């Protein structure tokens, strides 16, 4: 199958979360750093999608605090702030298209944080797919990476995607 053909979505295996998202962010950061160090010592260069997305979320938290004076965390209070960051990225993209590396970093950081907020507050798991990293809550798959790629690039004009997807998945959790 052509990985760029999203007419046929392929999901990876759903596995238990490696991290407890109820822990303080400082503890999650410490655990992730220790995991990276163990993998590095074994000369393992690949990490799970969940590790990568948690790392991206933590990077966005640090970036927003240091450069935007925005304090983010994994609480639902951060949804509106994350929406604002996504809109800033979209506006910046429209003014001057960033390099592919910068754009990919923006998408992964915002997806990582959104996924961590969802998992911490609604439950669920990360899952890899040909549409990018996704989150599964009560059997509903949210293709957040693919959708945020569209929002930031302007291909998807739903600037409220962050809140909309959280509300949709919240309804799915309540349907349990």
pTM over 0.85, yes/no = yes
Residue carrying the six token digits 């209070």: 77
Q: Are 117 and 75 in contact (CB under 8 A)?
A: yes
Question: Both tokens of residue 27?
Answer: 């503890």
Task: Write the pLDDT tens digit of every residue in 4-40.
Answer: 555 688 888 888 999 999 999 999 999 999 988 888 8
Dihedral (C-alpha) 167, 131, 43, 23: value to the nearest 10 degrees? 0
CA–CA dist 59, 81 (Å, integer) = 15
Q: Is residue 143 predicted with pLDDT exceeding 80?
A: yes
Q: Is residue 42 predicted with pLDDT exceeding 90?
A: no
In the prediction, which pLDDT does 174 show? 54
Domain locations in the chain as residue ranges: 25-174
Q: Are 128 and 12 in contact (CB under 8 A)?
A: yes
CA–CA dist 65, 5 (Å, integer) = 37
Task: Write the pLDDT tens digit of every residue in 46-102.
Answer: 788 999 999 999 999 999 999 999 999 999 999 999 999 999 999 999 999 999 999
Please choose, from the candidates 50, 75, 27, the residue with its C-alpha nearest in 3D space to the C-alpha of residue 127. 50
CB within 8 Å of 107: residues ≥ 6 apart:
132, 145, 148, 149, 152
Local confidence band at 175 (pLDDT 50, 70, 90 cut-offs): low
In the prediction, which pLDDT does 171 show? 85
Question: Both tokens of residue 139?
Answer: 């059997």
In the prediction, which pLDDT does 165 show? 94
Domain 25-174, CATH number (from 2.60.40, 1.20.120, 3.40.710, 1.10.20): 1.20.120
């Amino acid at each position: 199958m052509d990985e760029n053909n999203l007419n046929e979505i392929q999901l990876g295996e759903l596995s238990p979360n490696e991290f407890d998202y109820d822990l303080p962010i400082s503890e999650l950061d410490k655990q992730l750093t220790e995991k990276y160090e163990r993998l590095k010592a074994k000369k393992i260069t690949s990490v799970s999608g969940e590790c990568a997305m948690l790392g991206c979320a933590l990077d966005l938290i640090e970036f927003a605090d240091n450069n935007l004076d925005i304090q983010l965390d994994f609480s639902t209070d951060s949804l509106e702030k994350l929406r604002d960051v996504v809109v800033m990225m979209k506006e910046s993209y429209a003014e001057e298209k960033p390099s592919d590396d910068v754009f990919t970093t923006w998408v992964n950081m915002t997806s990582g944080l959104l996924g961590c907020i969802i998992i911490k507050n609604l439950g669920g798991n990360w899952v890899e797919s040909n549409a990018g990293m996704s989150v599964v809550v009560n059997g509903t798959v949210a293709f957040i990476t693919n959708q945020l790629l569209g929002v930031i690039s302007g291909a998807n004009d739903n600037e409220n995607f962050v809140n909309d997807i959280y509300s949709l998945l919240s309804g799915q959790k309540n349907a349990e």
